[in-house]
Amino acid sequence: MIPVPPWLRPLYPFAPRGFTTPGGADMSYLDEGGEGATEAVLMLHGNPTWSFYYRELVKNLAPRVRCIVPDHIGMGLSDKPQDYPYTLEQRIADVEALVEHLGLKRVHLVVHDWGGAIGFGYAARNPERIGRIVILNTGAFPSEFIPSRIAFCKTRIPGTALVRGLNAFAGPAVWMAMARRSLSAVEKRAYLLPYDSWDNRVAVDAFVKDIPMDATHPSWPALVMAEAGINRFRNHLVLIIWGGRDFCFDDGFFAEWRRRLPGSDAHYLADAGHYVLEDAREEVLPRLTTFLRG
């Protein structure tokens, strides 16, 4: 696990904890507020972010609400083994094991990017534990749409060389995922901190290649399982906040969520980018805080 460097502590004033996953790797995670409570908000990030993405939401909710925020293996401050099974199935299993380890009986989900497939994969297996749900520019169902630049990164040649060698996925994300504002220099440095070498970008590359586009992909069954579970939550309290200037999870994904969860409270921010929680913080944080405090 990577320690929190002194320069980052003003923005990320937390003491991450460690958990060994079923795959044998050390997972870094935040456990803030209401320690020992069996009900918590579980925040799941995607690629190429990490728990830093949720820092302001954690500050707003804790100490009144327990917040659990893992860094997926290979991401953030977690270990980055070169031979880990970086698949959707394994990531769901890792989250499931962490929740069991912490003794949580009820979780309120917050999901973003590929965290949606992971979160709804967990939810499909544990529907009785799921409370409120927050959906932020994500998907948890098959789609034929993939941006050409991401499809290019999915290739072994030259995709892996670009993503791992030139940081051509995590690097551009610090400006491509924003629309309303620009990240500060220290925020950019924080997002890129975990991904500073070929070895440390192993999971960034693997995450991209794990996007299943058809039934021949190894992660297709796990994605279909996550999709099948969505209907179970039609009567749950669901909040959707969507940045309209997202080149990856575009308006088609937003419309699909509205169709699948018609009773959700949906808010479309036309001028916000993919990192909607970061980009539209002043507007989004109060709404999320009120919703998750119940």
Average pLDDT estimate for 256-261: 97
Query: What domain range is 49 assigned to?
Result: 6-293
- Tens digits of per-residue pLDDT, 176-232? 999 999 999 999 999 999 999 999 999 999 999 999 999 999 999 999 999 999 999
In a domain, 1, yes or no: no
Which of 292, 291, 267 is closest to 280 using CA atoms? Answer: 267
In a domain, 88, yes or no: yes
Q: Say what the pLDDT of residue 224 is.
A: 97
Dihedral in degrees, nearest 10, Cα atoms 39, 41, 46, 48: -120
Total domains present in the chain: 1
Backbone φ and ψ of 187, nearest 5°? -65, -45
- Tens digits of per-residue pLDDT, 37-61? 999 999 999 999 999 999 999 999 9
Q: Say what the pLDDT of residue 163 is.
A: 96
Average pLDDT, the chain: 96
pLDDT confidence bin for 151, thresholds 50/70/90: confident
In a domain, 37, yes or no: yes
pLDDT confidence bin for 174, thresholds 50/70/90: very high
Q: Say what the pLDDT of residue 152 is.
A: 83
In a domain, 259, yes or no: yes
Q: Quick one: how far is CA 168 from the chain centroid?
A: 19
In a domain, 216, yes or no: yes
- Tens digits of per-residue pLDDT, 94-141? 999 999 999 999 999 999 999 999 999 999 999 999 999 999 999 999
In a domain, 117, yes or no: yes
153 pLDDT more than 90: no
Q: CATH number of the domain that 98 lies in? A: 3.40.50.1820
Which of 54, 19, 8, 53 is closest to 33 using CA atoms? Answer: 54
Say how far apart CA 232 and CA 215 lie, in whole Å: 23
In a domain, 152, yes or no: yes
In a domain, 39, yes or no: yes
Reading the block at residue 131, the tokens are 């409370």
| Burial of 255 from C-beta contacts in 10 A (0-12 / 13-18 / 19+) | exposed
